[in-house]
């Protein structure tokens, strides 16, 4: 009887050690593939600096609908700070209620992406910010009109001077974009359960979430979705293993091919960053899938050529939900009043 | 020579005294007609209470575009906290880019108005809040769908329970409106130069602004525009002295007549509250006038049957600009995530 107790104790100890060993390995494996979201913005590329003055000016611009022709649409309309950095629409609605071609990617943690837009056509957030302001189906404005608008408001003029010291003509479209970039770089969501785990807190994930993490790495998801943002830094053909339906991958949108004109980029898209993914349906560039579980199944079949069991899928979704971090705290800015010189809104 | 100096000193003293007397009288006259904006919300009518829990819930609702059918339009779209509580549009743009019939009044200090809307058809802010959510040209939603939406999100359900304790069915359309009312009641703009003046600081207004204040009272503006909001608590026929143009007073909109069906209310509108008026063009229910000076001239001719000199008008406008107070500081809320049970947006 004593012997049996001893065996049992030994067996239990072995089980415990092996779990512990597996857990350590899992954490190490994760740490080798992913990085936590930083608490403060990383250095920008091309030597651009982030200053408090640029951030504050950028916040005004981000919330100011007067950057749009109609005065109805701001950056925050399609990338709402309160809704995971997105608009929760299949594809964004813009000037004249026009329906845009693609789903709005989240602004949160977007500074950590290697490129911007679904096709990566913008090299950074400043380049990105210039797009929607001018797009006919978005804000439908022109750089010249935006500049006239900003120059008509003394508080903006003063803020541009302070944010871009020493420049002869600081109120211009490029600086508008740079200030927006500086503000957007602050929109980070650190401290997700997965970040806590990556920093060594083994209790930050449940067993089911850990199973999901393991599957996410072992099945191959993390071969594309890795780094701090679990994506956002490479391109893959959507449907490399099995083509998705026309509804999810509309034929007319050839993705990165539109940028590079290379045949190998047909239907290639930027690998979606997965941070806060539970907050940002509907999924894919076409915005056709509302259910995260369904989106995971589609990824498995189209990109990896595998079928997940219901249990596997559930675990992966549980893991993906651990990517939701602390949402940014932003005080709504009081915007400068327009003047007689401000070009008036045009809504038709 | 000594005598002349003495005379001069006496004369100056007399001028000084008389100015001082006139200034005291002006302040007393102003204090008898106007009241400062309070620093905190007044008690609501009908025994409704404002609690921190209602305010916080109301803030979520105020910024949540999922109260609209399209998920694109929130209260803040037409009553932007950052733009003087308005949308700066002639008349608001709503669902499907529909153009509404009237200019959006400011939400700031609106709790101090006796009634809401240009025709006063809502007795308080809670009644007001139910309107735009349902209006086809605004948020285009239904109470039943709003309730389904709110009930589908656990964080909303919990917040309604806490904000409306002891109620069997707290998540309902009426309570939504009451919470929005509680939040809106906090959107006050105290501490304008005119408030400082009303509280006894004679130096808070310049001489020109004081001239404007005196004209505002002596010419008759303040016979309607008085109280804390300088308006918002009575109705007047637009054009009582001289009918404005059809452009400014479109024939088809008969104002308060639509509410009361009394012939004496044809073309009567609520007297506009003038707080922060410099921030909230374009003016009048038709939103046809962008220039405050022009708006003052129109009021003088149509309501008082007088013509102001350019100097008089300039002084009155200078006074009106002293009505701009401290704009509210609001942290953008992180909104609860939707669930599978949430009715999806419909944009067409």
| pLDDT tens sequence across B20-66 | 677 789 999 999 999 999 999 999 988 899 999 999 999 999 999 99
> Residues of chain B with pLDDT > 90: what percent?
92
Q: Residues of B with CB below 8 A from A281's CB?
A: 338
The C-alpha atoms of residue A145 and residue A343 are separated, in whole angstroms, by: 7
What integer pLDDT is reported at residue B19 of this predicted model?
A: 58
Q: According to the CATH classification, is domain B52-185 in 1.10.760.10?
A: yes
- Reported as a single tens digit per residue, the pLDDT across A221-240 is 999 999 999 999 999 999 99
User: Is the Cβ of B87 closer than 8 Å to some Cβ of chain A?
Assistant: yes
Helix axes A52-63, A154-163, angle to 10 degrees: 140
> Angle CA(A25)–CA(A28)–CA(A29) in degrees, nearest 5?
85
Backbone angles phi, psi at A172, to 5 degrees: -145, 170
Identify the helix (H) or strand (E) that includes residue A18: helix A2-33
Compute, in degrees rounded to 10, the torsion defined by CA atoms B187, B191, B193, B198. Answer: 110
> Angle CA(A326)–CA(A330)–CA(A334) in degrees, nearest 5?
170
Residues contacting A335, CB < 8 A, separation 6+: A60, A63, A64, A66, B82, B83
Nearest in space to B38 (alpha carbons), one of B111, B104, B101: B111
- What is the ipTM metric for this complex? 0.93
Indicate the fold that domain A26-38+189-322 takes in CATH.
Cytochrome Bc1 Complex; Chain D, domain 2 (1.10.760)
Compute, in degrees rounded to 10, the torsion defined by CA atoms B250, B251, B254, B255. Answer: 10
Q: Residues of A within the annotated binding site for heme c?
A: 75, 78-79, 95, 221, 224-225, 299
What integer pLDDT is reported at residue A45 of this predicted model?
A: 82
Q: Residue A21: CA atoms inside 13 Å, Cβ hemisphere, count?
A: 6
What integer pLDDT is reported at residue A3 of this predicted model?
A: 53
Helix, coil or strand: residue B321: helix
Nearest CA in chain A to B60: A82
* Cβ contacts from A onto B, under 8 A: 86
Structure tokens at A130: 């210039």
More confidently predicted of B24 and A187: A187
User: Is the Cβ of B301 closer than 8 Å to some Cβ of chain A?
Assistant: no
Residues contacting B180, CB < 8 A, separation 6+: B58, B61, B62, B75, B125, B126, B129
Top residue of A60, A72, A76, A137 to mutate, by most chain B CBs within 10 Å, is A72
Nearest CA in chain A to B278: A337
Give, rounded to a whole angstrom, the gap between the first and last alpha carbons of chain A: 89
- Reply yes or no on whether the pLDDT at A2 is more than 60: no
Widest distance between CA atoms in chain A: 95
Q: Residues of B with CB below 8 A from A84's CB?
A: 337
Q: Residues spanned by CATH 1.10.760.10 within chain A? A: 26-38+189-322, 52-185
Nearest CA in chain A to B92: A72
What are the DSSP calls for B289-311, one per residue? B--HHHHHHHHIIIII-----HH
- Reported as a single tens digit per residue, the pLDDT across A319-333 is 999 999 999 999 999
The C-alpha atoms of residue B123 and residue B107 are separated, in whole angstroms, by: 15
The C-alpha atoms of residue A335 and residue A10 are separated, in whole angstroms, by: 69
Nearest in space to A70 (alpha carbons), one of A89, A91, A98: A98
Helix, coil or strand: residue A227: strand
Tell which phi-psi region holds residue A44, choosing left (phi > 0), alpha (psi between -120 and 50) or beta. Answer: beta
- Reported as a single tens digit per residue, the pLDDT across B91-122 is 999 999 999 999 999 999 999 999 999 999 99
The C-alpha atoms of residue B177 and residue A159 are separated, in whole angstroms, by: 38
**pTM, two decimal places:** 0.93
């Amino acid at each position: 009887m004593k012997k049996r107790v001893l065996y049992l104790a030994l067996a239990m100890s072995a089980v415990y050690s092996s779990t512990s060993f597996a857990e350590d390995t899992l954490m190490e494996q994760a740490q080798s593939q992913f990085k936590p979201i930083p608490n403060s913005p990383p250095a920008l590329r091309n030597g651009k600096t982030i200053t408090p003055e640029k951030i504050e000016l950028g916040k005004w611009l981000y919330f100011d609908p007067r950057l749009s022709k109609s005065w109805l649409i701001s950056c925050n309309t399609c990338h709402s700070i309160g809704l995971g950095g997105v608009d929760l629409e299949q594809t964004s609605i813009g000037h004249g209620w026009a329906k845009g071609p693609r789903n709005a990617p989240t602004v949160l943690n977007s500074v950590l992406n290697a490129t911007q837009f679904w096709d990566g056509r913008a090299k950074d957030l400043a380049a990105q910010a210039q797009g929607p302001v001018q797009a006919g189906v978005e804000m439908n404005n022109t750089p010249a009109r935006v500049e006239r608008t900003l120059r008509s408001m003394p508080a903006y003029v003063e803020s541009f001077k302070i944010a871009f010291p020493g420049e002869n003509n600081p109120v211009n479209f490029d600086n508008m974009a740079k200030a927006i970039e500086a503000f957007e770089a602050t929109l980070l969501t650190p401290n997700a359960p997965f970040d806590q785990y990556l920093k060594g807190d083994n209790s930050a994930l449940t067993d089911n979430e850990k199973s999901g993490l393991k599957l996410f790495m072992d099945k191959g998801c993390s071969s594309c979705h890795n780094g701090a943002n679990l994506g956002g830094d490479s391109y893959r053909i959507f449907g490399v293993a099995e083509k998705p339906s026309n509804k999810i991958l509309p034929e007319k949108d050839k993705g990165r091919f539109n940028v590079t004109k290379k045949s190998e980029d047909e239907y290639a898209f930027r690998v979606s960053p997965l941070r806060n993914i539970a907050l940002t349906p509907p999924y894919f560039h076409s915005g056709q899938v509302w259910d995260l579980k369904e989106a995971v199944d589609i990824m498995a079949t189209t990109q990896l050529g595998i079928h997940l069991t219901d249990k596997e899928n559930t675990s992966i979704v549980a893991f993906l939900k651990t990517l939701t971090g602390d949402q940014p705290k932003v005080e709504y800015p009081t915007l400068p009043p327009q003047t007689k010189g401000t070009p008036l809104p045009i809504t038709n």
